[in-house]
Amino acid sequence: MGNITRGPFPWLVLAFILSAATSSPAIGLCIGALMGLTVGNPARDYTSRAGKYLLQGSVVLLGFGLQIGIVLKVGSESLGITAVSIGCTLALGWALGKALKVDRDLSTLLSGGTAICGGSAIAAIAPAIGASGADTAVAMAVVFLLNGVALIVFPPIGHLFGLTQDQFGLWAALAIHDTSSVVGAGAAYGMAALTLATTVKLTRALWIVPVSFAAARFHRRNSKARIQWFLVGFLAAALIRTLLPQADPAWTTLASVGKRLMTATLFLVGAGLTLEDLRKAGGRPLICALSLWMLVASISLGLIKSGLVELSI
């Protein structure tokens, strides 16, 4: 089996087979993680890169399922919510990092990954603050673990608390780390939840650049933050659908393909998990990240369920 999985192509083929077989991103994640931990993934660098690009392509395709008016409405209305959420999460992360004596760079990466969009935020913030490769790897491993857990447990919790589609979409967008799992959890809950979760999550992701620059100033480093161009593609796709409504069947098909590809994306994400990652995720960084995530998830759930924070399509 090890020889078969040595190159990247068998992993990619299996990822696309899973996309055709199931629309459940959670299944893709579990199978990928199981294979990564048991069989091993010698092509990890290639599959991780492929997963990153597949995620970006999936998000762009999902844009074809939305009207630009809805995107702009939800995005503008959620801007204040995401700003407050990100600010509070960063402040809580800083306080927890200090209390648990987690290295400052690592604490910043964990807080940024929780506040904005998981691995993408960590990848942007790390060079901005000059974080070491070891700190970046640990932050990625910890956020990856929690992100995978969130994809699986959030939909059942949403049903347990009787969250509406809009409520769950907002909660997932505010409390789950990576865009991939936000989209996956939203898709598992329903199309309305998927639409709102994706749009609010991408609004959150827009904060990558300003937060990276702010972190660089805080750490007295020269920032290397970059624009996430797939966000522009998402907006362009929604605009195209709005301007060419006569081709709605084609746009709907493309959006469905994007949703299906999330299974392949999560499979490749899971395939990148190793036993070494699990060992790195131990100790205080994991406690810090887990505590921060549970606080953010609990507080946001309480505010949304009580109606103090709400948003609808």
- Find where tokens 């299996």 sit: 14
Closest CA to 84 of 122, 118, 115: 115
Question: Which of the pair, 100 or 275, is modelled with greater confidence?
Answer: 100
Cβ–Cβ < 8 Å for 183, 25: yes
pLDDT (0 to 100) of residue 223:
53
Mean pLDDT across 171-198:
89
pLDDT band at 3 (very low <50, low <70, confident <90, very high): low
Q: What digits encode the pLDDT tens for the residues 270-307?
A: 787 777 766 766 678 889 999 999 999 999 999 999 98
Which segment of 52-61, 150-159, 222-231 scores lowest on mean pLDDT?
A: 222-231
pLDDT of 68 strictly over 60: yes
Q: Extract long-range pairs of 42-49: CB within 8 Å, 24+ residues apart.
A: 42/2, 42/5, 42/6, 43/5, 43/6, 43/7, 43/8, 43/11, 44/271, 44/272, 44/274, 46/7, 46/8, 46/11, 47/8, 47/11, 47/12, 47/268, 47/271, 47/272, 48/268, 48/269, 48/272
Tell me which residue of 125, 119, 115, 154 sits closest to 277, measured CA to CA: 119
- Give the residue among 187, 203, 178, 189 at the shortest CA–CA distance from 263: 187
Distance CA 150, CA 144 (A): 10
| CA gyration radius, the chain | 18
pLDDT per position as a tens digit, 120-157 = 778 678 777 877 766 776 787 788 788 888 988 999 99
Instruction: Give the residue carrying structure tokens 């994640």.
Output: 29
Q: Give me the chain's average pLDDT, please.
A: 83
Q: Is pLDDT above 70 for 119? A: yes
Q: What is the rounded average pLDDT of the residues 244-257?
A: 90
Of 32-46, 152-166, 204-218, 271-285, the range with the highest mean pLDDT is 152-166
| pLDDT above 70 coverage of the chain, percent | 90
pLDDT of residue 264 exceeding 80, the answer is yes
Residue 209 has pLDDT above 80, yes or no: no
Does 92 have pLDDT greater than 90? Answer: yes
Neighbouring CB atoms inside 10 A of 232's CB total 12
| Residues 75, 68: Cα–Cα separation, whole Å | 10
Residue 1 clears pLDDT 60, i.e. is over it = no
> Residue 8 is encoded by which pair of tokens?
């990247």
Q: Where residue 269 falls among pLDDT bands split at 50, 70, 90? A: confident
